[in-house]
Amino acid sequence: MVTAFEEQDLSILIVEDDEDTAEVVCTLLEDAGFKASAVDRGRMALKEISNRAPDLVLLDLNLPDINGIEVLRSVRTHSFLPMIILSGYGKDRDRVQALEAGADDYMAKPFSPEELVARVKALLRRVEWTPKPETHLSVRELELDMPRRQAAIRGKKLHLTPIEYGILVMLMKTAGQVVSHDDLLRSVWGDQYRGDYSVLRVNISRLRQKLEENPRRPTYIVTAPGQGYWMPVAR
Protein backbone atom coordinates (compact mmCIF):
# COMPACT_ATOMS: atom_id res chain seq x y z
CA MET A 1 0.00 0.00 0.00
CA VAL A 2 1.26 3.48 -0.84
CA THR A 3 0.41 6.30 1.51
CA ALA A 4 -0.76 9.31 -0.48
CA PHE A 5 1.30 12.46 -0.22
CA GLU A 6 0.73 15.99 -1.42
CA GLU A 7 3.53 17.31 -3.63
CA GLN A 8 2.83 20.90 -2.60
CA ASP A 9 3.67 20.04 0.99
CA LEU A 10 7.09 18.63 0.11
CA SER A 11 10.30 20.60 -0.36
CA ILE A 12 13.21 19.56 -2.54
CA LEU A 13 16.72 21.00 -2.34
CA ILE A 14 18.77 21.06 -5.55
CA VAL A 15 22.53 21.19 -5.05
CA GLU A 16 23.93 22.18 -8.44
CA ASP A 17 26.66 24.65 -9.39
CA ASP A 18 25.46 25.10 -12.98
CA GLU A 19 22.93 27.92 -12.79
CA ASP A 20 21.05 26.94 -15.95
CA THR A 21 20.66 23.32 -14.85
CA ALA A 22 19.53 24.37 -11.37
CA GLU A 23 16.92 26.72 -12.84
CA VAL A 24 15.59 24.05 -15.20
CA VAL A 25 15.30 21.45 -12.42
CA CYS A 26 13.65 23.94 -10.04
CA THR A 27 11.07 24.88 -12.67
CA LEU A 28 10.46 21.24 -13.52
CA LEU A 29 9.80 20.30 -9.90
CA GLU A 30 7.66 23.37 -9.22
CA ASP A 31 5.55 22.54 -12.29
CA ALA A 32 5.10 19.07 -10.77
CA GLY A 33 3.77 20.66 -7.58
CA PHE A 34 6.83 20.57 -5.32
CA LYS A 35 8.52 23.40 -3.45
CA ALA A 36 12.03 23.67 -4.88
CA SER A 37 15.11 25.69 -3.99
CA ALA A 38 18.74 25.53 -5.09
CA VAL A 39 22.24 26.13 -3.73
CA ASP A 40 25.51 25.88 -5.63
CA ARG A 41 27.98 24.81 -2.91
CA GLY A 42 28.34 21.66 -0.84
CA ARG A 43 28.79 23.53 2.43
CA MET A 44 25.70 25.62 1.72
CA ALA A 45 23.82 22.38 1.11
CA LEU A 46 24.86 20.97 4.49
CA LYS A 47 23.72 24.18 6.17
CA GLU A 48 20.36 24.12 4.36
CA ILE A 49 19.80 20.47 5.21
CA SER A 50 20.52 21.18 8.87
CA ASN A 51 18.38 24.33 9.06
CA ARG A 52 15.47 23.54 6.74
CA ALA A 53 15.25 19.74 6.69
CA PRO A 54 14.06 19.30 3.07
CA ASP A 55 12.08 16.20 2.16
CA LEU A 56 14.50 15.18 -0.59
CA VAL A 57 17.84 16.34 -2.03
CA LEU A 58 19.02 16.28 -5.65
CA LEU A 59 22.80 16.39 -5.45
CA ASP A 60 25.44 17.04 -8.11
CA LEU A 61 28.80 15.37 -7.55
CA ASN A 62 31.04 18.01 -9.12
CA LEU A 63 30.74 20.97 -6.75
CA PRO A 64 33.28 23.81 -6.45
CA ASP A 65 34.03 23.53 -2.72
CA ILE A 66 33.44 19.98 -1.44
CA ASN A 67 32.31 17.23 -3.77
CA GLY A 68 28.94 15.57 -3.65
CA ILE A 69 30.29 12.32 -2.20
CA GLU A 70 31.60 14.23 0.83
CA VAL A 71 28.22 15.94 1.24
CA LEU A 72 26.47 12.60 0.99
CA ARG A 73 28.73 10.92 3.55
CA SER A 74 28.36 13.84 5.94
CA VAL A 75 24.56 13.69 5.76
CA ARG A 76 24.55 9.92 6.20
CA THR A 77 26.34 10.19 9.55
CA HIS A 78 23.13 11.52 11.10
CA SER A 79 20.26 11.26 8.61
CA PHE A 80 18.58 8.96 6.09
CA LEU A 81 17.17 11.90 4.14
CA PRO A 82 16.26 10.69 0.60
CA MET A 83 19.03 11.74 -1.80
CA ILE A 84 19.29 11.36 -5.57
CA ILE A 85 22.57 12.00 -7.37
CA LEU A 86 22.43 14.01 -10.61
CA SER A 87 25.81 13.82 -12.28
CA GLY A 88 27.63 14.19 -15.55
CA TYR A 89 29.66 11.14 -14.55
CA GLY A 90 27.81 8.17 -16.00
CA LYS A 91 30.29 5.32 -15.57
CA ASP A 92 29.44 2.32 -13.43
CA ARG A 93 32.23 3.03 -10.94
CA ASP A 94 30.81 6.52 -10.31
CA ARG A 95 27.34 5.10 -9.74
CA VAL A 96 28.68 2.41 -7.43
CA GLN A 97 30.75 4.91 -5.42
CA ALA A 98 27.71 7.14 -4.90
CA LEU A 99 25.44 4.24 -3.96
CA GLU A 100 28.02 2.87 -1.54
CA ALA A 101 28.26 6.31 0.07
CA GLY A 102 24.52 6.17 0.74
CA ALA A 103 22.72 7.59 -2.30
CA ASP A 104 19.21 6.28 -2.84
CA ASP A 105 19.32 6.78 -6.60
CA TYR A 106 21.63 7.98 -9.37
CA MET A 107 20.79 9.70 -12.64
CA ALA A 108 23.38 10.61 -15.26
CA LYS A 109 23.14 13.88 -17.18
CA PRO A 110 21.54 14.55 -19.54
CA PHE A 111 18.39 13.07 -18.07
CA SER A 112 14.76 12.87 -19.10
CA PRO A 113 12.67 15.49 -17.25
CA GLU A 114 9.75 13.07 -17.02
CA GLU A 115 11.97 10.33 -15.61
CA LEU A 116 13.47 12.68 -13.01
CA VAL A 117 10.02 13.64 -11.71
CA ALA A 118 8.95 9.98 -11.74
CA ARG A 119 11.99 8.93 -9.72
CA VAL A 120 11.52 11.74 -7.20
CA LYS A 121 7.89 10.72 -6.68
CA ALA A 122 8.79 7.03 -6.47
CA LEU A 123 11.44 7.62 -3.80
CA LEU A 124 9.12 9.84 -1.76
CA ARG A 125 6.42 7.19 -1.93
CA ARG A 126 8.85 4.59 -0.62
CA VAL A 127 9.67 6.84 2.31
CA GLU A 128 5.98 7.23 3.09
CA TRP A 129 5.11 3.57 2.46
CA THR A 130 3.84 1.42 5.31
CA PRO A 131 2.96 -2.15 4.35
CA LYS A 132 -0.41 -3.45 5.56
CA PRO A 133 -2.06 -5.49 6.98
CA GLU A 134 1.13 -6.89 8.53
CA THR A 135 2.52 -4.98 11.47
CA HIS A 136 5.43 -7.22 12.27
CA LEU A 137 7.74 -9.57 10.38
CA SER A 138 10.20 -11.98 11.93
CA VAL A 139 12.81 -14.27 10.39
CA ARG A 140 15.00 -16.00 12.97
CA GLU A 141 16.71 -13.19 14.93
CA LEU A 142 15.66 -10.48 12.49
CA GLU A 143 12.61 -8.41 13.51
CA LEU A 144 10.75 -5.75 11.56
CA ASP A 145 8.29 -3.35 13.21
CA MET A 146 6.37 -1.93 10.26
CA PRO A 147 4.33 0.84 11.91
CA ARG A 148 7.58 2.28 13.27
CA ARG A 149 9.62 1.31 10.20
CA GLN A 150 12.25 -0.13 12.52
CA ALA A 151 14.38 -3.24 12.13
CA ALA A 152 16.51 -5.05 14.67
CA ILE A 153 18.72 -8.12 14.64
CA ARG A 154 19.73 -9.99 17.77
CA GLY A 155 18.09 -7.14 19.68
CA LYS A 156 20.25 -4.46 18.04
CA LYS A 157 18.50 -1.70 16.12
CA LEU A 158 19.43 -1.39 12.44
CA HIS A 159 19.76 1.99 10.76
CA LEU A 160 18.38 1.49 7.25
CA THR A 161 17.89 3.80 4.30
CA PRO A 162 14.45 3.74 2.61
CA ILE A 163 15.87 1.54 -0.16
CA GLU A 164 17.42 -0.93 2.28
CA TYR A 165 14.16 -1.07 4.21
CA GLY A 166 12.23 -1.84 1.03
CA ILE A 167 14.59 -4.68 0.09
CA LEU A 168 14.34 -6.13 3.58
CA VAL A 169 10.52 -6.05 3.56
CA MET A 170 10.41 -7.83 0.20
CA LEU A 171 12.83 -10.57 1.25
CA MET A 172 11.22 -11.09 4.66
CA LYS A 173 7.71 -11.30 3.20
CA THR A 174 8.92 -13.97 0.78
CA ALA A 175 11.27 -15.75 3.20
CA GLY A 176 12.21 -19.20 1.98
CA GLN A 177 11.61 -18.26 -1.68
CA VAL A 178 13.97 -16.89 -4.31
CA VAL A 179 13.10 -13.36 -5.43
CA SER A 180 14.43 -12.57 -8.91
CA HIS A 181 16.67 -9.59 -9.55
CA ASP A 182 14.01 -7.93 -11.67
CA ASP A 183 11.23 -8.56 -9.15
CA LEU A 184 13.33 -6.89 -6.44
CA LEU A 185 14.16 -3.96 -8.69
CA ARG A 186 10.53 -3.53 -9.72
CA SER A 187 9.24 -3.81 -6.15
CA VAL A 188 11.73 -1.44 -4.55
CA TRP A 189 12.80 0.97 -7.31
CA GLY A 190 10.10 0.72 -9.97
CA ASP A 191 9.73 -0.63 -13.51
CA GLN A 192 12.26 1.79 -14.99
CA TYR A 193 15.08 0.01 -13.11
CA ARG A 194 14.52 -3.40 -14.66
CA GLY A 195 17.91 -4.86 -15.61
CA ASP A 196 19.89 -2.33 -13.53
CA TYR A 197 21.61 -4.96 -11.43
CA SER A 198 24.52 -2.80 -10.23
CA VAL A 199 22.25 -0.64 -8.07
CA LEU A 200 20.77 -3.79 -6.55
CA ARG A 201 24.17 -5.38 -5.85
CA VAL A 202 25.44 -2.29 -4.05
CA ASN A 203 22.40 -2.08 -1.78
CA ILE A 204 22.45 -5.82 -1.04
CA SER A 205 26.12 -5.46 -0.08
CA ARG A 206 25.30 -2.58 2.28
CA LEU A 207 22.47 -4.55 3.86
CA ARG A 208 24.72 -7.53 4.42
CA GLN A 209 27.23 -5.32 6.21
CA LYS A 210 24.47 -4.33 8.63
CA LEU A 211 22.79 -7.73 9.00
CA GLU A 212 25.34 -10.46 8.77
CA GLU A 213 27.85 -11.63 11.34
CA ASN A 214 30.11 -12.48 8.39
CA PRO A 215 29.04 -10.53 5.27
CA ARG A 216 31.28 -12.72 3.10
CA ARG A 217 29.27 -15.77 4.15
CA PRO A 218 25.73 -14.41 4.45
CA THR A 219 22.98 -16.41 6.11
CA TYR A 220 20.13 -13.86 5.88
CA ILE A 221 20.47 -12.51 2.34
CA VAL A 222 21.70 -15.40 0.22
CA THR A 223 22.53 -15.24 -3.48
CA ALA A 224 20.73 -17.63 -5.81
CA PRO A 225 23.25 -17.66 -8.70
CA GLY A 226 21.76 -16.42 -11.94
CA GLN A 227 18.36 -15.89 -10.31
CA GLY A 228 18.24 -13.40 -7.45
CA TYR A 229 18.29 -13.45 -3.66
CA TRP A 230 16.46 -15.24 -0.88
CA MET A 231 16.18 -15.27 2.90
CA PRO A 232 16.36 -18.75 4.51
CA VAL A 233 13.86 -19.31 7.30
CA ALA A 234 16.35 -21.58 9.09
CA ARG A 235 20.10 -21.22 9.36
Q: What is the pLDDT of residues 178-196, one digit of tens each?
A: 999 998 988 888 777 777 7
According to DSSP, residue 34 is labeled -
Q: Count other Cβ atoms within 10 Å, centred on residue 130.
A: 14
Domain of residue 144: give its range. Answer: 136-230
Predicted confidence (pLDDT) per residue in 21-73, tens digit = 999 999 999 999 999 999 999 999 999 998 888 999 999 998 999 999 999 98
Residue where a domain terminates, one of 110, 128, 146? 128
What percent of the chain lies above the pLDDT cut of 70?
A: 92
Encoded amino acid at 37, one letter: S
Task: Look at residue 134 in the predicted model and tell me its pLDDT.
Answer: 58
Residue where a domain terminates, one of 128, 160, 177? 128
CA–CA gap between residue 126 and residue 24 (Å, rounded): 25
Encoded amino acid at 128, one letter: E
- Total residue count of the chain as it appears in this document: 235
Do 55 and 76 lie in a common domain? Answer: yes
Half-sphere exposure at residue 23, Cβ-oriented, CA atoms within 13 angstroms = 3
For residue 80, pLDDT over 90 is answered with no
Cα 84 to Cα 62, 143, 153, 216: the distances in Å are: 14, 28, 28, 28
Do 13 and 73 lie in a common domain? Answer: yes
- Select from 127, 235, 221, 225 the least CA-distant residue to 174: 221
Residue where a domain terminates, one of 70, 103, 128? 128
Confidence bin at 128 (pLDDT 50/70/90) = low
Looking at 75-79, 96-100, 180-184, 204-208, which range is the least confident one? 75-79
Confidence bin at 14 (pLDDT 50/70/90) = very high
